[in-house]
Structure 1
Amino acid sequence: MLNNFSLLGRGLGEYTTKQKYTLQATPHRVTTPRLKNPSLKRGVVVPVNARFIQGRSAHTLIVMSFFSFFFQYTVWNFIPKNLFEQFRRIANFYFLIIFLVQLMIDTPTSPVTSGLPLFFVITVTAIKQGYEDWLRHKADNEVNGAPVFVVRSGSLVQTRSRNIRVGDIVRVAKDETFPADLVLLSSDRADGTCHITTASLDGETNLKTHYSVAETAVCQSESQLEALQAVVECQQPEPDLYRFVGRLTVTQHGEEIVRPLGPENLLLRGARLKNTKEIFAVAVYTGMESKMALNYKCKSQKRSAVEKSMNTYLIIYLGILLFEAILSTILKYAWQFDDKWDEPFYNKKTEQERNSSQILEFISDFLAFMVLYNFIIPISLYVTVEMQKFLGSFFIGWDLDLYHEESDQKAQVNTSDLNEELGQVEYVFTDKTGTLTENEMHFRECSINGTKYREVNGKLVPEGMTDDSPDGSAPHLVTLTHIYSLTLLLTDTHAMFPPLQPQRIRFDFFILIMYKLLHVLEFDPNRRRMSVIVQTPSGKVAHRIFLKGLRTLVVACRHFSAAEYVEVDRRLNAARTALQQREEKLQEAFSYIERDLQLLGATGVEDKLQDKVQETIEALRLAGIKVWVLTGDKHETAVSVSLSCGHFHRTMNILELLQQRTDNDCAEQLRVLYRKNLSGEDHVIQHGLVVDGASLSLALRGHEKLFMEVCKSCSAVLCCRMAPLQKAKIVRLIKTSPEKPITLAVGDGANDVSMIQEAHVGIGIMGKEGRQAVRNSDYAIARFKFLAKLLLVHGHFYYVRIATLVQYFFYKNVCFITPQFLYQFFCLFSQQTLYDSVYLTLYNICFTSLPILVYSLFEQLVHPHVLQSKPALYRDISKNAVLSMRTFLYWTLLGFAHAFIFFFGSYILMGEDTTLMGNGQMFGNWTFGTLVFTVMVITVTLKLALETHFWTWISHFVTWGSIAFYFIFSLFYGGIIWPFLHTQDMYFVFVQLLSSGSAWFAIIIIVITCLFPDVVKKVFYRHLKPTNTQKSQDGCFSPCNYYISRDLTAFDLIRIYCRVVKLIFAQGPNIERFDLKWARFLEAKKQIRHYCALVCISIHK
């Protein structure tokens, strides 16, 4: 049977059926091309144990172990693979080319000036990515190294998960996780069943019953399992958790017995065994081909609006670089057209230079100018952005306002690449159950035989009665038979599992009646119902059913005669044992059984709203964010919840697109709704739209544009009866609309994963439906109410910080390179550099890097409390306002203006024949360049200080420390003769510069000239034309006003200062603001606010 098998390597992406043994990667399992069942063609054959394999095959078989991985690098491929990934980035590849050009041709600057910054950027990025991959290695090792027990040679042997082979019989105990996809063989129960929970896979927390076949259920010892001769034939591995087709062939006394296998026989890796002491099962899918691994999707690389703008601006700066290089090359040859400049008497050309190709010279000069001006492209921008995102993401997890004490869950960041995108959201798509609600069902009322009952003080009474009304006062008496039938049905269809340890239960005034459970027709979302067939003590067979309308339960029953039940039993058994089209045949059998039903009644349950949902939705609406609710609930329930949570207002005109059956009907209804919106009838200001899944499918089929126009004119949209893929389609529809708005999707269940992955930003709620939504999200929070602060505060902060970071990088690099370009007009375009090579190298790495990094981590344009209390401030930063083309041009022109002032201010100071030294000595070329560089470092650092609104001790330290470090380094660098340098051009240059009073005066004048217009602009706009943000900034320190009238002694101030300083050093740099974080960590919030306020007053005094 096994002679035609071929070996399959893991991770190949296809399955070979050749006679030749093919081994790639780690061999996995044996496959066969010849199966009688067409649905199992090219399927998998799994002999149950190794002894049986040797008995059935003449070949030596290699079977794959369990080992699975989700990491990206190994020790051996980290360096080449990481370098390849990094140099795929255009900026890194560009600087690599510049570095190679410097090595190949004679350029004005040393290759170190490009090589060292490139090495620094590549190294920092590699360390960050290596650390993240090490965490993935660590997580994989925990899974692959978990201890498991397998049956080997008739006894249990403990091994590691990575050593499990296909065909191994594995023992799993209660509350343990299944290490692979297993086919259940037996359990400690006589019937061979077990109960599992799949919450970690599909989010469903209810227990599920799985079955073994009768021939293997009796094998409950290691010796019996060792003697078992069986082969499992199953389909190729696929990611569908609910689909499995196979068969088990058991050989007993020389006879082969074939039994069908389905999803009820498969125990999925990642699921957990419950209410069962132990089970034995055979491994069929292991490693990366288990269903859990196949469902693992690397989240698509999402790019934020800031990153897209940054790449656009980099292209513009690349155009500026090319323009400057081409212009300089042309002007050089134009200048050298005169022989006296082309070949001066002190620099005669050689014969080889005279005969060289003019085209090659032109290209060489062009590349040399490219190298000279290449620093206009900020090489350290990418690494600084990555560090800011990585470090800044910790603040979300540290924010105690996002911590849920009841569940002990804090906010979680799964990706740090989208922090700034939280400040640009225009549409929020949210699930209802478990996201807006608690997902806790509480019984409220029911209807039995036409009479409505409701809960009053824990008692069930007819409508119109109180709990103490006499029994005879009911307006409508319901027969006891209906009440009994309904109660019995709810009891039968309720999933209850006996505990492992029998417990004594006392029944007072009750008679215990036994029913024989014959069949269970499990619930599925297509039928929306669950049925059971039971036999009464009298022998009568009853079919009981309830239809789940999600928040309502419709109860019905049907009685079978003995002959009818025989036919029902035959149909069910035939469908369940079918090897082909099993699912279709089961649906046919269910349809035959679930008909001619007698209605008994209905029940109603309430799903309570989460805390502060209404306030959160209102805050998002004030922030200019449109909220859409996408739910699978029915129309009435969804509208009721939307009204109660504030999504719909009572005064809002509700438009409906429901129960549309044809394209024409749907199109006509859309036109009617569109005309209503345009007409503004009844003077309605706001409209709300309700659409169901069926009508949505028709609307998206050929009327997308008209549907979008209707939706845009509505303040709120509710989509009910939505399938998971429809949720993703809605998000994609808005996401790809002409306006390209930023979308955010939030949900808590497995059915929300598709829309979470589709949206620009995905938020997972740590609810009660497992963790699949959390694992596939970009951010995870414990409650919906935390979404307000995540967007309005953290989103605002992150966007402003990183947008300013990008603008500032472009600005300071324009300031850096433009004087270099201007200098060429004064050196006959000879490619002479204005700055020393060490300054060129360290400008972006050391002298100006830390202040902007600290700014991008701690800056707060407005106090967090103000941002939460005034959601409208969110509108000021929407649509990428801080990084728009207008602000980009402002920062760029400001950089050019400051660069002109740096250069010509220093040039005017020196003039011609001007002596600035006490001994009459003139400044040289390197002193002039150092003067320009010194003014530039001070100006760009103080410019950032002017942009800073929130100062911490770290901000002061890096701002003034960077300037001090530059002076100390320059004194040290220019005060020593370095033997490894080819020239000593900078020796004593900086000391000479600082010894001149005129140079000091020039530095002060030039810095003031550059920054004074900025100060005037800020003062003018703040007082004459303030923005909403600037108005809010004025009131940020209002808590101090309460204490301004207090009479403070010097002793009081000293004591307060000491307490605050103690808090600073106790908490370190992890604190984002005084009044909240310190207080929360020390549980003295009010007291610390007093201290901070008093310190502010003392500073004013």
Structure 2
Amino acid sequence: MTQNGGASSATVAGIEPRVAFLNDNDANQQLIVTKQYARNVMVTSKYTILSFVPKTIFEFFRVVANIYFLLIALLQLATPWSPTNKFTTAGPLLFVLMVTMVKQGTEDFKRHQADEKQNLRLCRIINAQGQTEMVAWQDLQVGQLVCVENHEELPADVVILATSEEEGRCFIETSNLDGETNLKRRIAVKSTAQAIGWRELQGDFLPQETVCASAVRKLRGSVEHEQPNNQLYTFTGRILLREGDRGETATPLGPENLLLRGCSLRSCAYVVGLVIFTGGETKLLQNSRAAPSKQSKLYRTANSCMLLIFTTMFALCLASAIAASSWNSRNVNRVWYLPFITEPDGASFIVNFFTFLILYNNLVPISLYVSLDIIKVLQANRITADRNMVYEGTRAVARTSELNEELGQVEYVFSDKTGTLTCNVMEFRKCSIGGISYGFGTTEIGRAVAALAGGNADPNGSSTSSSPSPAKAKVNPMFENAGSGGSSVRLDIISTDDVRERVSPALLPEIGRPKEAQVHFDPNIHFDDPGLLRALYAGGKQGERIHEFLMLLSICHTVIPEIDPKTGSVAYRASSPDEEALVKAAKCLGYNFVAPAPLMKVEISCKPSLLPPVTATATHGTASLEPTTKSYTILNVNEFNSTRKRMSVVAVNEETREYILYCKGADNMMLERATTSKNESETEARLKLESHLKNYAREGLRTLVLGRRVLSEVEYKQYNDTYVEASTSLEDRETKLDACAEMIEKNMNLLGVTAIEDKLQEGVPTAIFDLAQAGIKVWVLTGDREETAINIGHACRLINDKMQLLYVNAERIDALSAQLDAMYETPELQRLMRGGQVADNLAMVCDGKALVHVFPSRDTRIKMSAEATANVDMLAEKLLGIAKVCKALIACRVSPSQKAEIVQLVRKGGVSADEKKRKGAQPITLAIGDGANDVSMIQTAHVGVGICGKEGVQAVNASDYAVAQFRFLTRLVLLHGRCNYKRICKVIRYSFYKNIALVISLFMFNFFNGQSGAPLFESFVMAGWNFFLALPIIVIGVYDQDIPEDIVLRFPQLYRCGQHDSDLNMRVFTRTILNSVVHALICFFGCYAGTQITTLGLYVLGTLFYTSLLGAMKLKVVQLALVINKYHAVVMAFSIGLFVFFLLVYPHLTFMSYDMYGVPAQMVLHQRYWTLLLLCPVAAMLIDYTAVAAQQQFRPSAEDILRERFRAGRSKRGSDTVAPMDLPAESSTKSADKITIADQSINENNTNDSKEGKPGQSAPTSTLYVSL
């Protein structure tokens, strides 16, 4: 373990090491200066006092539209070409910039406050005199010694030099890092702990003051370690201690010796450590990276619309410049008195072009992006405030507001299983030991599978199992005289199914009682088979198997018991819910784990009522009425990882001094490492175990296979030497440790199988049904075995018994290619793929072993030839093509990286360039998960949703939205997503609509003023256009509701409009442009024909037309608002009042302009003013209202029908009810353009039983076919 002399010059993991010195402040200070080690401050703010103005201005002008307005403002200010006031563009632009700066400044000020609060927290350092003193976190430096007490948070990354506990151990909680609340074990560096304060097992407590003083007095040397990185679970380094004349002694450091900033100390009085990373170099802050920037599809569509508007504007400027040149050429001699009218030439053409560019600059809505930002923030607040998405006090959280409308266009949902579809509350239900299955009852998933098979699932039935022959079974005396009424029935130790078949029905309730089946009854554990305890107490070979089975559950784990000092109760802290469930199950069955590693203690108790009359034959000591204690010393731990899929411990039985390997893991890993026996009974037991595995998987139970092996002393020594060498290695430590574990994890005796139930969350089947009805494909990506994944798919109604399952599970690349080719060339699939259709009777099941060939690692792909790469890409294309025509997909045994690869494949629409360019090939994807293994998938999808579950907050921190349960996804997507999509579409259309109308009026007026570029409106009146119209559309963007929310959720088919871009596409946008042009022309020519400019003056006519057009815009808002609420009324009244106030006040501000003085008075006194003000907007909007009425009458949309039915039901019944209506079916045969809505009455009392699939109930048969 040690290395003498010359070690200080070595490198760590092949790179230049980072160094910190022990008790050498001068050397540390020099390193801090020369190496520029980070200060221990947290900075989450974006700006400083000096950088705030330049950085916000830079970010503001990263938006192309803002650069455009800046150029227009510069043209107005710096040239004589502007036909309007020089400040009409600069003023609004400056106002928008100020609003943005105030918003950014307010948010950043809050971040500064949070940073200051964090940086001024106090911690305890050890000074040169060996005493502790309090300093602020921000003053902590690399190389200082710190002392952290129980329940305190670590201020920096610290190497553990000594602790108060036995053998230098301590425990930490890492919820601030990874969200896990279980305690994790850490140990001090043995060489330093022995130097300053080593406490042996059962040793005396060492006072904190003594250890701190010793640390300063005795420790000299340095720590060489890796450079700062974001790997939370790895650490490589070594500590070099100077020991007088003997030189330096090197001791390797690993992650078990490191405490990270943000974690909290638990179950330990104090820890003394050396600071090695501070501030932004700590692993916590290295992981504090923003999620990848995402931009919604609708935002990109708006940018495309903006590009079209820019093109249109330049076309208008060019047309006006050409018309001006033509007019000047024809009239230059006739209007000789106008000095600026000259023969047209190139210079005058350029001047005219820029004059019209300034005049028409409002064609681009300056308020669009600001309005969208405000609206999206308010929409996000509404999502967070939704009381219908609260579970156990946990609300939905919109972590970003940029993707609110993206939620309304989702086509694929990728879901994890454990903790997402299921509760992640593990419950020990059944087990198989020695070929016998124990445990009554079935699961929700088991009932679903039984129903699909046409059988009736007995709620008290057990899984199918086999038993040893009665002749070879050990007779249990407790089953003598078990019959009622004096009859004698002898039962062997057999499966619980056989017990149920052979025992009188009157006794069945007794057999299924959890209190009888458990030694320490726990109401949260529903294991209810007393046969296990009876077999245990009866002894014999089966009793020994059960004893070893329960001992393994009590020992082979990383669970930590934490005792409440007030109540004395023990709470288990586990790294996973599965481990906690197994340890609790062992406790309930009498094997109570009470002391953690390294000296683990298990108290074994018995159930007196189940004890046989004679207990002398119980060789394992479980039949004593008094609890007995078994002690095991844990020597080595081979930890679980996603590659090994198992964990094991090597323990020494303190009584027998045997070296025992206990191992548990996934079935595919454990079965291939089990010993093969020629004994007929052992072979039969293994076959039954494998059968039970399949049965448990059919019930959706999570299984682990348990194995045991006794090691010889020589074999253990050989293994331990390799283990020590691997654990102290500075390079490839994890790989070497895995190889070391392979040395002994072989030829194991199988003890049995555990079966844990992870129940489906409430509402999951209904949620998946609704998502499917909305046209959203749900793909489940899980690490579970195939049978479990398929049966959970049945239980949650993702697949059904009428579906044909397409399996992609070949393990070799040639076999996989043949498998995909056979599917791909099927005529039926080819027809579906060509038509872009989805078959309701097809589902795909993929295995992770097959996907390894479809998604090779980056290193593998680099080494592949061009031909091999092309073959792999072809496999991915074929897989995607087949999967797209399937209604559902289940991927089992997949790794986190494979989850992300699947999402990426669907998101990009394939891997070839042609596929990417094909229309509709890039659907909107949503990924939902709850654990760290879902982070890559969540960040890869367009929209990431995290479940606030039991596996930490990594998924939530990486997500865009967070919900408490999967069922809330329907409300988030189908309600909030759909409504926000429609609202944003209205805002974008209206923003362009109102500005186009204004500019078209200016364009038309130029045909009446000799193409001079003179504006029809006074400059500041024209500049106020966006202000007078901004608020009403913001209210629509936040509160508009076309259909009541309960009806929206009842009819998921309504969601499909967003998937087809129905509310905003180039066709709809072109219609918006034409609509705006028509309204502008009606108002312009109506006002022009109804007045005489020669008598009224230019700005009187202009203000009259402006007011008329403003009225039309207000009426358009009213038409867009399908539901008028108090917010609409207040804002509409305010915006009208604002305009009236402006007309009353502005004309008197003559220092700004004299042009408007007296204009409003003349206008309102004109005899035709009020008539034109009423007729022009009404005439313009009459076209719209007529068109809408005709469309609703002759070609109604789904929304139109439901609104009409809702209003009819409300008027008749006085409540929110949808009345049934008879509508003729559409004549069109394009099924792809239609959705189906069940004709059913909707009200609060009508439950959605058809979705739950209750027997004897079905949806009404009449159907409405509604064209999209």
Q: Deviations over 1:976-1013 (max 9, x none)?
A: 2x3413x5221111111111221211222211210111
Amino acid at match of 1:887: V
Match of 1:712? 884
Determine if the alignment matches structure 1 residue 828 to structure 2 residue 1007. Answer: no
Amino acid at match of 1:910: T
Determine if the alignment matches structure 1 residue 213 to structure 2 residue 205. Answer: no
Match of 1:95? 69
Determine if the alignment matches structure 1 residue 691 to structure 2 residue 861. Answer: no
Give the Cα separation in 2 of the matches to 1:400 and 1:524.
Answer: 39
Match of 1:542? 660
Determine if the alignment matches structure 1 residue 757 to structure 2 residue 939. Answer: yes
Residues 893-908 of structure 1: matches in 2 within 5 Å?
893-908=1074-1089
Give the Cα separation in 1 of the matches to 2:329 and 2:1071.
Answer: 38
Deviation of the 1:349 alpha carbon: 6.1
Which of 1101, 1121, 1127 is the matching residue for 1:928? 1101
Give the Cα separation in 2 of the matches to 1:685 and 1:298.
Answer: 40
CA contact (8 A) 1:182 1:266 kept: yes
Determine if the alignment matches structure 1 residue 82 to structure 2 residue 115. Answer: no
Deviation of the 1:314 alpha carbon: 0.8
Residue 33 to residue 231, structure 1, CA distance change in 2 (3 Å) = closer
Deviation of the 1:956 alpha carbon: 1.0
Deviation of the 1:879 alpha carbon: 2.5
CA contact (8 A) 2:704 2:754 kept: yes
Match of 1:15? none
Which of 126, 129, 136 is the matching residue for 1:160? 136
CA contact (8 A) 1:396 1:794 kept: yes
Match of 1:371? 358
CA contact (8 A) 2:252 2:730 kept: yes
Structure 2 residue runs without a partner (length 5+): 1-5, 198-210, 442-459, 463-492, 501-507, 512-529, 570-593, 595-602, 606-624, 668-700, 832-837, 856-871, 910-915, 1216-1242, 1245-1268
Which of 322, 336, 346 is the matching residue for 2:337? 346
Give the Cα separation in 2 of the matches to 1:671 and 1:1016.
Answer: 55
Match of 2:428? 443
Residues 461-480 of structure 1: matches in 2 within 5 Å?
462-464=495-497, 465-466=499-500, 468=510, 479-480=542-543
Give the Cα separation in 2 of the matches to 1:755 and 1:953.
Answer: 42
Give the Cα separation in 1 of the matches to 2:823 and 2:283.
Answer: 45
Which of 318, 321, 334 is the matching residue for 2:313? 321
In percent, how many aligned pairs have the same letter?
Answer: 34
Deviation of the 1:881 alpha carbon: 1.1
Residues 602-621 of structure 1: matches in 2 within 5 Å?
602-621=753-772
Give the Cα separation in 2 of the matches to 1:34 and 1:104.
Answer: 67
Match of 1:296? 288
Match of 1:1062? none
Deviation of the 1:471 alpha carbon: 7.0
Residue 344 to residue 1039, structure 1, CA distance change in 2 (3 Å) = closer
Give the Cα separation in 2 of the matches to 1:956 and 1:496.
Answer: 61
Give the Cα separation in 2 of the matches to 1:1024 and 1:171.
Answer: 79
Determine if the alignment matches structure 1 residue 179 to structure 2 residue 155. Answer: yes
Amino acid at match of 2:184: K
Structure 2 residue matching 1:568: 3-state secondary structure? helix
Give the Cα separation in 1 of the matches to 2:634 and 2:1214.
Answer: 78
Give the Cα separation in 1 of the matches to 2:382 and 2:33.
Answer: 59
Amino acid at match of 2:377: F
CA contact (8 A) 2:12 2:225 kept: no
Match of 1:968? 1141
Residue 636 to residue 714, structure 1, CA distance change in 2 (3 Å) = same
Match of 2:635? 518
Match of 1:391? 378
CA contact (8 A) 1:173 1:277 kept: yes
Give the Cα separation in 2 of the matches to 1:266 and 1:458.
Answer: 50
Amino acid at match of 2:552: L
Residue 51 to residue 306, structure 1, CA distance change in 2 (3 Å) = closer
Structure 2 residue matching 1:1015: 3-state secondary structure? helix
Q: Deviations over 1:848-891 (max 9, x none)?
A: 11111111111001110110111111112322210011211111
CA contact (8 A) 2:8 2:240 kept: no
Residues 611-760 of structure 1: matches in 2 within 5 Å?
611-658=762-809, 660-675=810-825, 678=828, 685-700=840-855, 701-702=872-873, 703-737=875-909, 738=916, 739-760=921-942
Which of 69, 79, 97 is the matching residue for 1:122? 97
Give the Cα separation in 1 of the matches to 2:35 and 2:1190.
Answer: 83
Q: Deviations over 1:601-656 (max 9, x none)?
A: 11111111110000000000000100011112222221121111111112211111
Q: Deviations over 1:543-566 (max 9, x none)?
A: 121124592111111112222222
Residues 243-282 of structure 1: matches in 2 within 5 Å?
243-255=234-246, 256-282=248-274
Which of 1150, 1154, 1178 is the matching residue for 1:984? 1154
Give the Cα separation in 1 of the matches to 2:830 and 2:338.
Answer: 83
Match of 2:955? 773
Match of 2:1196? 1026
Structure 1 residue matching 2:743: 3-state secondary structure? helix
Give the Cα separation in 1 of the matches to 2:1145 and 2:318.
Answer: 38
Structure 2 residue matching 1:1035: 3-state secondary structure? helix
Match of 1:1051? none
CA contact (8 A) 2:496 2:531 kept: no
CA contact (8 A) 2:824 2:830 kept: no
Q: Deviations over 1:410-443 (max 9, x none)?
A: 1111110111111111110111111111111111
Q: Deviations over 1:105-132 (max 9, x none)?
A: 1111112110111112112222222233
Match of 1:858? 1039
Give the Cα separation in 1 of the matches to 2:939 and 2:183.
Answer: 28
Which of 438, 450, 456 is the matching residue for 1:453? 438
CA contact (8 A) 1:653 1:684 kept: no
Give the Cα separation in 1 of the matches to 2:59 and 2:365.
Answer: 19
Structure 1 residue matching 2:877: 3-state secondary structure? helix
Q: What is the aligned length?
A: 995
CA contact (8 A) 1:33 1:43 kept: no
CA contact (8 A) 1:454 1:462 kept: no
Structure 1 residue matching 2:1179: 3-state secondary structure? helix
Q: Deviations over 1:683-742 (max 9, x none)?
A: 984111110112113234331211111101110001111111111111111111142111
Residue 747 to residue 60, structure 1, CA distance change in 2 (3 Å) = closer
Amino acid at match of 2:270: E
Match of 2:1206? 1036
Give the Cα separation in 1 of the matches to 2:278 and 2:629.
Answer: 47
Give the Cα separation in 1 of the matches to 2:361 and 2:1122.
Answer: 33
TM-score, length-scaled by structure 1? 0.86
Amino acid at match of 1:622: Q
CA contact (8 A) 1:198 1:204 kept: yes
Amino acid at match of 1:713: V
Structure 1 residue matching 2:134: 3-state secondary structure? strand
Amino acid at match of 1:715: K
CA contact (8 A) 1:876 1:1029 kept: no
Match of 1:53? 27
CA contact (8 A) 1:203 1:749 kept: no
Match of 2:225? 234
CA contact (8 A) 1:455 1:461 kept: no
Residue 650 to residue 333, structure 1, CA distance change in 2 (3 Å) = same
Which segment is superposed worse, 983-992 or 387-396?
Answer: 983-992
CA contact (8 A) 2:926 2:943 kept: yes
Deviation of the 1:198 alpha carbon: 2.8
Match of 1:73? 47
CA contact (8 A) 2:840 2:887 kept: no
Amino acid at match of 1:966: F
CA contact (8 A) 1:303 1:417 kept: yes
Match of 1:5? none
Residue 841 to residue 1032, structure 1, CA distance change in 2 (3 Å) = same
Residues 356-435 of structure 1: matches in 2 within 5 Å?
358-404=345-391, 406=392, 408-435=393-420
